Amino acid sequence: MSLSTLLNVPCTIHRRSTSEEDPNVSEESVDTYGNPIPVAVGDSDDDHTYDLETLCWIQQDRRTEPGEAGEMSDAYWTIFLHHGTDVDTSDAVTVEGYGRFEFVGDPWPAVQGSPSVWHVEGTLRRTGPDEVGS
């Protein structure tokens, strides 16, 4: 069985870029120290998003429930994507049935063993509900 058959959950990757990556971004996308500020990219001024529809697998890794936070919990998840999927720490992802997440740290290519199991892994933190189920 290849990893491709296990990646069966629809998800949308919300790509962002920096002014260094996108020549169409204005100088206002740089902070006072000259560092690029991540901005969404897209086709129109009203909706600056670049969405990539794909398939993934997601699983919860750990969660914490701080004592003073009442019923709030903080959960971390691992996402598995097809090998070669272009994602980085500034991107977000909406996973059907699970919600919206942001990457924590840089995703990494897992390229050990047979090429049939090569993939991209990333750590996620949930930032919003699933829009369909909300």
Range of the domain at 77: 3-128
Contact 22, 41 (CB under 8 A): yes
Residue 133 within any structural domain of the chain: no
Contacts of residue 117, defined as CB under 8 A and 6 or more positions apart, other chains included, come to 2, 3, 110
Instruction: Note if the pTM is more than 0.75.
Output: no
Residue 62 within any structural domain of the chain: yes
Number of domains in the chain: 1
Residue 110 within any structural domain of the chain: yes
Render each residue's pLDDT in the chain as its tens digit; 134 residues.
567 778 899 999 988 765 445 544 445 555 555 655 544 445 434 345 578 889 999 999 887 766 665 566 678 999 999 888 888 888 999 999 999 999 999 998 888 877 777 889 999 998 877 654 44
Q: Quick one: DSSP state of residue 5?
A: G
pLDDT of residue 44: 39
pLDDT of residue 46: 38
With 0-12 CB in 10 A as exposed, 13-18 as middle and 19+ as buried, what is 91?
buried
pLDDT of residue 9: 92
CATH code of residue 38: 2.40.10
Residue 134 within any structural domain of the chain: no
